[in-house]
C-alpha cells in the first residue's frame, strides 16, 4: 500500500512529491497522465517565478523538477486516474483508466484547472502571442499599452481592475449590457477612468500577424463591427476545474466542493475528508500561479506526512 498517492504532476504535484519523499515517506507514487510539468510547460516565457532571471520558457523551468523528486525516491507512474474512492476502513482506492487500482493511506489531488475559451476566430492561433487567460502572468508585458478584456463575470471585472493599474487603457468587452459580478466590483470598474465598457459586443475575430495581435473586431447590437486596436486580449469567460477524479459512483463528490467545482480546503490544504488533501489550481481561491501551486504542494505534503504518522 502507498503511504501517499499524488494525482497530477504539475508544480503542485511535483512539489508534493519532493516534500513527502524527502520528509520520510517511503512509498509515494505520483500519477500523471502526460509528461510531468503541468500547464506552465505551454508558456513561452515565465518571468515571475522567484529567483529565476533571464528569458526562460515554462518547459525550461519545469524540466529539472521530476529528476529532483526522483532523487529522493518519488515513483512516477504515467497513468490517468479515473477516480479516488475511500473504503470504510479509511483507505483510499486509486482507480486508473487501464482498469487497475492502487491503495493509499493518504492522497494529494493536484489535477489543476483550465480556463474556458470564448470561441472567436483567431483565439487559438494567437494564444500565447497576444491572447492570454492570465493577467497576473502576462499583464506586465503590456505595461503602458492598451489591452482588451473579454467577459462579464467576477474574474473578468477583477482582472480588468488589475490590468487598469498596469496598462494605459482597458476595453472591457461583454456580450450583454449587465454583468454577473458582485455589485461593489461593478461600481469599482465603472469608477475607473481608464476602463472603457464595450457592451452588447460579441467578439468576432482577433487579427494580427507574425509579431502577434494587432486588435479585435466585435459585433455590436445593430450588427455593425467595431475594431479595437490593441496588442493584448485577455479572455475570462469561465474556468473548468479538473475535479473528475473526485466524482463517486453515485455522482457525488468525495469531499466538500465550492459551487464552482473547486475543492474546499483549509490553510493546511486539508479537505473535508481526513487524509485527503488538494493543492494548486484546483483548490478554492487559488491564485493560479506556479509559485503558489508549489507552495500548496509543500504544505499538503507536510500534512500528509503527519497524517500517515498518526499526528493529525
Query: Interface with ligand FAD by CB under 6 A: which residues?
Result: 7-13, 31-34, 38-40, 42-43, 46, 48, 80-81, 110-112, 128, 134, 137, 242, 245, 280-281, 288-291, 293
By CB under 6 A, which span of 42-50, 99-107, 233-241, 300-308 interacts with ligand NAP? 233-241
Beta bridge partners of 239: 115
Cell numbers for 277, please give them.
488533501
Give the one entry of ligand NAP, ligand FAD, none that residue 237 binds, where binding means its C-beta sits below a cut-off of 5 to 8 angstroms depending on kind: ligand NAP
Is residue 137 part of the annotated active site? The answer reads: yes
Phi first, then psi, for residue 293 (nearest 5°) are -60, -45
Q: Which of 137, 167, 255, 292 is catalytic?
A: 137
Is residue 138 part of the annotated active site? The answer reads: yes
Is residue 292 part of the annotated active site? The answer reads: no
Give the one entry of ligand FAD, ligand NAP, none that residue 150 binds, where binding means its C-beta sits below a cut-off of 5 to 8 angstroms depending on kind: ligand NAP
Sign (positive or negative) of CA dihedral 31, 32, 36, 40: negative
Query: Going edge to edge, which strands form the sheet with 195-198?
Result: 131-132, 232-235, 146-150, 169-173, 195-198
Site string for ligand NAP, 145-184 (x = CB under 6 A): -----xxxxxxx-x----------------xx---x----
Residues of this chain that interact with ligand NAP (CB under 6 A) are 118-119, 150-156, 158, 175-176, 180, 203, 236-239, 260
Amino acid at each position: 500500500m502507498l503511504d501517499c498517492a499524488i494525482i497530477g504532476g504539475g508544480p503542485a504535484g511535483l512539489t508534493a512529491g519532493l516534500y513527502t519523499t524527502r520528509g520520510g515517506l517511503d512509498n509515494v507514487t505520483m500519477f500523471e497522465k502526460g509528461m510531468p510539468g503541468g500547464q506552465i510547460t505551454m508558456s513561452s516565457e515565465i518571468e515571475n517565478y522567484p529567483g529565476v532571471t533571464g528569458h526562460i520558457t515554462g518547459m525550461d523551468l519545469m524540466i529539472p523538477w521530476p529528476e529532483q523528486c526522483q532523487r529522493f525516491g518519488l515513483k512516477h507512474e504515467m497513468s490517468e486516474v479515473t477516480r479516488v474512492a475511500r473504503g470504510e476502513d479509511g483507505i483510499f482506492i486509486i482507480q486508473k483508466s487501464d482498469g487497475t487500482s492502487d491503495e493509499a493511506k493518504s492522497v494529494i489531488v493536484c489535477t489543476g484547472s483550465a480556463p474556458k475559451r470564448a470561441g472567436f476566430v483567431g483565439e487559438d492561433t494567437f494564444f500565447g502571442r497576444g491572447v492570454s487567460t492570465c493577467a497576473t502572468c502576462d499583464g506586465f508585458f503590456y505595461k503602458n499599452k492598451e489591452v482588451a478584456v473579454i467577459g462579464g463575470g467576477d474574474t473578468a471585472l477583477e482582472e480588468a481592475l488589475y490590468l487598469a493599474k498596469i496598462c494605459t487603457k482597458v476595453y472591457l468587452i461583454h456580450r450583454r449590457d449587465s454583468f454577473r459580478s458582485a455589485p461593489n466590483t461593478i461600481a469599482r470598474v465603472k469608477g475607473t477612468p481608464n476602463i472603457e465598457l464595450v457592451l452588447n459586443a460579441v467578439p468576432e475575430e482577433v487579427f494580427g500577424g507574425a509579431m502577434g495581435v494587432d486588435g479585435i473586431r466585435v459585433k455590436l447590437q445593430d450588427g455593425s463591427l467595431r475594431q479595437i486596436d490593441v496588442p493584448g486580449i485577455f479572455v475570462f469567460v469561465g474556468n473548468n476545474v479538473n475535479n473528475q477524479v473526485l466524482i463517486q459512483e453515485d455522482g457525488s463528490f468525495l469531499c466538500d466542493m465550492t459551487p464552482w467545482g473547486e475543492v474546499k480546503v483549509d490553510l493546511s490544504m486539508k479537505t473535508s475528508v481526513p487524509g485527503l488533501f488538494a493543492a494548486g489550481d484546483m483548490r478554492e481561491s487559488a491564485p493560479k500561479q506556479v509559485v503558489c501551486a508549489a507552495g500548496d504542494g509543500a504544505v499538503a505534503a507536510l500534512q500528509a506526512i503527519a497524517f500517515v504518522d498518526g499526528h493529525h
